Structure 1
Amino acid sequence: MLKSKRILLAVLSMGLLIAGCKDKEDVKPTATLTARAGADQNVKVGDVVNLDGSGSTDSENKTFEYSWTFSKKPAGSNVTLTKPTDSKPAFTPDLPGEYEVEVKISNENGQSADKVLVTATMIEPIVLETNIKDKKVLEDRVANPDIPDYIVNANVQINAELTLKPGVVIAFARDTRLELNDNGGILLAKGDSLKPIRLIGKEPTKGFWGGIVFRSSNGANELEYVEVAHAGSKTLINTIKAGMAVIGSSRAKISIKHCLFQKNDGYGLYIEERVVLSGFEKNTFSENTEAGILLNANNVASLDYNSVFSKANGRNIIEIYASTLSKNLNTEIIWAGFKDKTPYRIMEGLGSDANWKLMPGVILEMGRGARLSIDDGYFYAKGTEASKIIIRPAENERAYWRGMICFSQNSKNLMEHVDFYGGGSIALVSGKKTNIAVYGGGARMEIRNSRIAGSGGYGIYVNYQAVVNEDIETANVYADNVEAKVLKE
């Protein structure tokens, strides 16, 4: 009997213990978390939206954490929240439509959520329809770089200082153009890597708008992180179509850095004689119908190693029209190679009165019938065994271009480790077809360790009054020349 009572007492005690534990587990906090995401908002695309979750509460006044996320946004939007774990994050709508943002707050008492709806509508672009006669600043009005801030429906003349802020997008109507004049016109267009300035067509097709005509000689002119695209619908000067033409008659001056000239019908950039390139750095020329750039010989030395000229253009070359390297015997004009190994192409002919130096790895391509003429100063072309200087025809044909003639009497004239091919298309001098002619009283040239080939006549012609190294025949390799290796009169 006693044993039975003890068992009953133990069972009752266990039951009370279990019941006590169960009651303890069922106890819930009396505190309440309430998330508040703030009032719905109506904004414009590009406006900064400031969200406010500071109205959220904990009934016990305990601290809690915030977490904001987008639960809905327009298709194609790349928008993100700044400081999504703060009480007051922000974002900038990049497309029209609805942006639903949810805030969750949480702590040891639990969690709560709320949503806010932000509706963004498009900002209408401002129409630029009058010439700019007074100082003007154009601001970036829309965050999305595919949406224009401004529209140009007719040609605009710039006769005052115009500043384009980073991120500005100007879309041009068909056949319109922008002209920067020399009577007070200044263009300060300085974007950055995250917010480039874009000068584009209203429709993203080659040759939609005219392009930019640049005449201003003001030294402050600069383009940095600027894209010029879809131009070339009409000629900008003479027969030239281009994204931008810089005109030399007014001795225009401009600095061009980190710019993109792409998808233009014609050249990306045209530089006329007497233009001053005050800066040129890390520019890219892509998908232009002609070559990326067309310029005169005197501005070639301003081009930099890191610019890209060979990106799906009609001709992946640096095109040089008929011009002369000006005489300046106190300065050496250096033509260097490029990171993307783009060749120079001399279209008709090039004369040099300068101290002209070609660096190892340089490639000169010669247009049909073109001629090189070293008239004064010196010509110094010294490659290396591993990095030769190449002077060749634009097409791989023997006797394609006229050749090179040296009248210069300078003792620094040198060709070493040069691969020279394809001259002698017609007589170069004295009825002689030849790759290279050293001609005239006191003219001189030293040629060593080079390959002279593919001439329609002689490899080298030396006039009786000229001076060359005595071992010129044995110091070089000759191949595929129609006449003898060397003719010495």
Structure 2
Amino acid sequence: MNKGNHYLKMLALIVAAGFIGLLVSCNDDDPDPDPDVTVSLEAVIDYSPSAPEEGEEVTLDASLSVDDAGVGFDVQWTITSAPENSTATIADPSATTTTFTPDIEGSYEIELEISNATEGVSDTETQTITVLPKGFEELSGAITTDLTLENIIEDPTQIDYLVTGNVTASAMLTIEPGVVIHFQENTMLTIDQAGSIKAEGTESDSIIFTSVNEGGGILWKGIFIGSGSSQNIIKYAKVMYAGNEAMNFTGDDFKAGIGVNSGGNIRVENSTLMFNDGYGLYVDENEGHINTFINNDVSDNIVGVGTWADEVDDLDNTTTFSNNSQAAVEIMASSFSETNEATWNVLADGASYNISGTINVNGTLTIAPGANFEMDEDVIINVYGAFIANGTDVSPINFTTSDDALGLLWKGIYVNSADGRNILNHVNISYAGNSIMNFSGADFSAGLGIDASGKISITNSTFSNNEGYGVYSEESGGQIATFEANTFSSNDVGVGVSANEADALDGATIFSNNQSAAVEIFGTTYEDSRTSTWKALNGSAAYRVTGNVDIDGALTIEPGVTMEFDEDVLVRVYGSLTAEGTASEHITFTTSNLNGGLYWKGIHIISSTTLNSFDYVDLSYAGQSAMNFSGADFAAGIGVDANGRVSVTNSSITECKNYGLYIEETGGQLEIFANNDFSNNLRGVGLRADEVDALDGNTTFSNNSFAEVEIFGSSLSDIKDVTWTALSGDAYYRVTGRLDINGVLTIAPGALFEFDEDVDVRVYGAFIADGTVDDIITFTSSNITGGLLWKGFHIISSDSRNSFDFTLVSHGGNSPINFSGDDFAANIGVDTNGQVSITNSTISNSGAYGVYSKGTTNNFTDISAGNTFTSNPNGNF
């Protein structure tokens, strides 16, 4: 032995021993292991080569396994599955790195178990290794001259070609039927602009493009089509286990089995696209093209097909889609060209299109019956051309969210085209309204939004679970061409329309569980060119009016209509309003928030047409604020302005803050008034003297706290010869200002009048108050308990018809009557030229005289006159 070498070895051992001692010393100072640290192992198998042939040694390596706590582990390799008759074994099953030699082509399942018995932990990993048979050819690099790949091995289960590096074809690449091509990890076949591909198998002898190791989860990159050649075709082929890495498209980059770049073109027929990570087929949104796509099977990809709007019509209705985890067909954000006129087919077996971005429809797009669309969050379809979605009863068209489980909403369909072909028939729109649409006026969210220049027909369709409106028609011009037999459920609002478009709605459409309203009518104008009817909605559904509505045209309200008005909302009638219900189908006008105690403003009649009519109408909870009349302003359920005219029959007006019905004191006209009910208003009816004769004796009044009927200070015109009827029950007229009787006024037996403080009646024409023994006429104070007196009657005219017979005149005489000479206070005052007859009457409780006469009277004090005078402090006469 060489002594020098011996000394060197001894020196090395001494140094090593010292170093080990130092390590031990350091370890003695280390803290004890943390008992809370979790010890775990993760087995990882690495092997090479990635595509071994039979008879080629394979190296197995466990060194990449994870041992975070550094506890160490033992190794055990096992072949758990191998091709039949294989006798392959692992050289050293317990070594971290070992080998085995596959003796038969096929799949070998290798199991690795790592364990630490002391810590009681272990983990197992399994890896499938595909072993190739001998005899295939390898491909890589550029193909610059026409090339045909022949079927080398007739057995369709055997590989013909192995792609070991990226292949780029700049010439014609022809692949014969039966060819099987395996691709190593992340390799790709590119057909560039100068090249073309003709891969046409047959029904019995298909072409296969797949991974070199399907079972091992190894993916290749895919087929990239950059060529626009019309010869490009993939037919009776299988493209599988691609998508290892994104392809470099002109637009965004994605993974795909087949990728068609900008300018590229491909026909895919009778082929299978499956087990691809990413898309089975992806068409770049920058002018990638599908020539034909027919009778394929697209399954178990992330997305079956990804394409853009102009290419969707190339997809057929026979291709099957199954188990594509995100979507069968994805339509990306894009525009359907103005020159395009095409149909998007229904996908087979109920498969859905997934629209992942905004679609602008500029051309003429038809949606086939039965088509299903799932829309990503906030995605919108904008219609600027023509949109024809004409489903059938058995094959409706569906637009909904791509994920209702997470509560995601899409944006909706926006129509800003007036094309007469626009239609939704047998269409279901749900879970839209994620954000507001940009309308010409105010912006709102909706399932379907019709802008000012838009027009569409909506029939036999369902709108459900939409945020905002099911359908919104823009208030300044959106048009609904036809609206029939639809269903609106669980939207915030079913339909929102302007006054001009409300007549498009039908009575068959069903509304249910729409949170704020079935139909909302915005504050808008019903134009003077319109003559139409607002129909009764189905069931108990109501119109909700959320802003002031001006009726300039001729509007009819159909029997059975219910209208609910928001706080202080007013209807102004400049044209005509005919609201005529029936005994069995009343029309209802009321508040939209009864529980909240909110009142609407009422209906203001400005026009003088006789078409203004309320028959069998129930109006309630109006009068939130005063209407702007020609004279003084008042709140009312129905207010008739100076030039207005209205008829009110068989109707109820209740719970109004002030007047139920107000006829403006300077000229409003009450045409017909019969068989109504006024209850729980502050004032039932308020009107001037010239209109009182329109009131009937059948209308009922109850609990109108200030007055059943108020007669304002006004004049009965000299052309009038009328009778003021007795109101029904114990209802009374309350006179709140001076009355000048210039015409001929007859008071019907049984009538009751109450006068406010110091109010008087001046008779310049004729005043005939002839009651009966059973129905006396009463004239008294409106506040006897408050001690208030009215002024009394001042008879100025010499008309011999002036008379009081079977009357009670009491609590007048508050202040002197303005006689020709001296003034005196009295219940009845007869001026110098006045004439009156008083019989069978009671004159009582005057503030001064019962009767004071300077004119001509009957001998009213004679017992034969039958009068009674009591409690008149200045004398009975």
With structure 1 as the length reference, what TM-score do the two structures score?
0.71
Residue correspondence of structure 1 range 21-60 to structure 2 within 5 A: none
User: Does structure 1 retain, via aligned residues, the 8 Å contact 2:133–2:159?
Assistant: no
Structure number with the bigger relative contact order (C-alpha 8 A, sep ≥ 6) is 1
Show the counterpart of 1:66: none
Aligned pair count reads 367
In structure 2, which of residues 198, 209, 214 is the aligned counterpart of residue 188 of structure 1?
Answer: 198
Residue deviations 1:428-466, cap 9 Å, x none? 13321211111023x211112211221211221111212
**CA gap 1:455/1:130 in 2 versus in 1, 3 angstroms:** closer
Unaligned runs of 5+ in 1: 1-73, 77-94, 97-120
Secondary structure of residue in 1 paired with 2:310:
helix
User: Does structure 2 retain, via aligned residues, the 8 Å contact 1:449–1:477?
Assistant: no
- In structure 2, C-alpha distance between the alignment counterparts of 1:220 and 1:485, rounded to whole Å: 57
- In structure 1, C-alpha distance between the alignment counterparts of 2:140 and 2:152, rounded to whole Å: 18
- In structure 1, C-alpha distance between the alignment counterparts of 2:514 and 2:360, rounded to whole Å: 25
1:332 equivalent in alignment to 2:332: no
Deviation at 1:339, TM superposition (A): 2.5
Show the counterpart of 1:459: 470
- In structure 2, C-alpha distance between the alignment counterparts of 1:143 and 1:276, rounded to whole Å: 34
**CA gap 1:170/1:436 in 2 versus in 1, 3 angstroms:** same
In structure 1, which of residues 387, 397, 413 is the aligned counterpart of residue 395 of structure 2?
Answer: 387
**CA gap 1:280/1:192 in 2 versus in 1, 3 angstroms:** same
Show the counterpart of 1:224: 235
Show the counterpart of 1:49: none
1:149 equivalent in alignment to 2:160: yes
Residue correspondence of structure 1 range 335-346 to structure 2 within 5 A: 335-346=344-355
User: Does structure 1 retain, via aligned residues, the 8 Å contact 2:133–2:158?
Assistant: no
In structure 2, which of residues 185, 193, 217 is the aligned counterpart of residue 174 of structure 1?
Answer: 185
CA RMSD between the two structures = 2.4
Show the counterpart of 2:100: none
**CA gap 1:236/1:243 in 2 versus in 1, 3 angstroms:** same
User: Does structure 2 retain, via aligned residues, the 8 Å contact 1:453–1:478?
Assistant: no
- In structure 2, C-alpha distance between the alignment counterparts of 1:306 and 1:157, rounded to whole Å: 32
**CA gap 1:291/1:453 in 2 versus in 1, 3 angstroms:** same
Deviation at 1:216, TM superposition (A): 0.4
1:241 equivalent in alignment to 2:249: no
Show the counterpart of 2:292: 279
Secondary structure of residue in 2 paired with 1:313:
coil
User: Does structure 1 retain, via aligned residues, the 8 Å contact 2:260–2:289?
Assistant: no
- In structure 1, C-alpha distance between the alignment counterparts of 2:412 and 2:515, rounded to whole Å: 14
In structure 1, which of residues 359, 365, 369 is the aligned counterpart of residue 374 of structure 2?
Answer: 365
**CA gap 1:407/1:244 in 2 versus in 1, 3 angstroms:** same
**Letter in structure 2 aligned against 1:275:** G
- In structure 2, C-alpha distance between the alignment counterparts of 1:189 and 1:287, rounded to whole Å: 22
Residue correspondence of structure 1 range 282-297 to structure 2 within 5 A: 282-288=295-301, 290-297=302-309
- In structure 2, C-alpha distance between the alignment counterparts of 1:187 and 1:282, rounded to whole Å: 20
Residue deviations 1:400-447, cap 9 Å, x none? 111111001101111111111111111113321211111023x21111
In structure 1, which of residues 323, 346, 369 is the aligned counterpart of residue 334 of structure 2?
Answer: 323
Deviation at 1:482, TM superposition (A): 4.4
Sequence identity, in percent?
27
1:270 equivalent in alignment to 2:261: no
User: Does structure 2 retain, via aligned residues, the 8 Å contact 1:418–1:450?
Assistant: yes
User: Does structure 2 retain, via aligned residues, the 8 Å contact 1:127–1:151?
Assistant: yes
Unaligned runs of 5+ in 2: 1-82, 86-103, 106-131, 483-502, 523-877
- In structure 1, C-alpha distance between the alignment counterparts of 2:477 and 2:191, rounded to whole Å: 52
**Letter in structure 1 aligned against 2:415:** C
- In structure 2, C-alpha distance between the alignment counterparts of 1:342 and 1:479, rounded to whole Å: 29
Secondary structure of residue in 2 paired with 1:452:
strand
Show the counterpart of 1:208: 219
**CA gap 1:466/1:420 in 2 versus in 1, 3 angstroms:** same
More displaced 10-residue stretch of structure 1: 333-342 or 471-480: 471-480
Show the counterpart of 1:407: 416
In structure 2, which of residues 295, 301, 310 is the aligned counterpart of residue 298 of structure 1?
Answer: 310
Deviation at 1:202, TM superposition (A): 0.8
Secondary structure of residue in 1 paired with 2:404:
coil
Deviation at 1:312, TM superposition (A): 1.9
Show the counterpart of 2:679: none
**CA gap 1:364/1:386 in 2 versus in 1, 3 angstroms:** same
- In structure 2, C-alpha distance between the alignment counterparts of 1:258 and 1:188, rounded to whole Å: 14
Show the counterpart of 2:486: none
Deviation at 1:295, TM superposition (A): 0.9
**CA gap 1:457/1:255 in 2 versus in 1, 3 angstroms:** same
Deviation at 1:192, TM superposition (A): 0.6
Show the counterpart of 2:853: none
Deviation at 1:471, TM superposition (A): 2.9
User: Does structure 2 retain, via aligned residues, the 8 Å contact 1:347–1:366?
Assistant: yes
**CA gap 1:383/1:476 in 2 versus in 1, 3 angstroms:** farther
With structure 2 as the length reference, what TM-score do the two structures score?
0.40
Show the counterpart of 2:138: 127
Deviation at 1:315, TM superposition (A): 2.5
Runs of 4+ aligned residues of structure 1 deviating over 6 Å after TM superposition are: none
Deviation at 1:217, TM superposition (A): 0.8
**CA gap 1:306/1:156 in 2 versus in 1, 3 angstroms:** same
**CA gap 1:207/1:404 in 2 versus in 1, 3 angstroms:** farther
Residue deviations 1:263-310, cap 9 Å, x none? 11111110112122222111111211x11111111111111111012x
Residue deviations 1:124-143, cap 9 Å, x none? 21111331011111100112
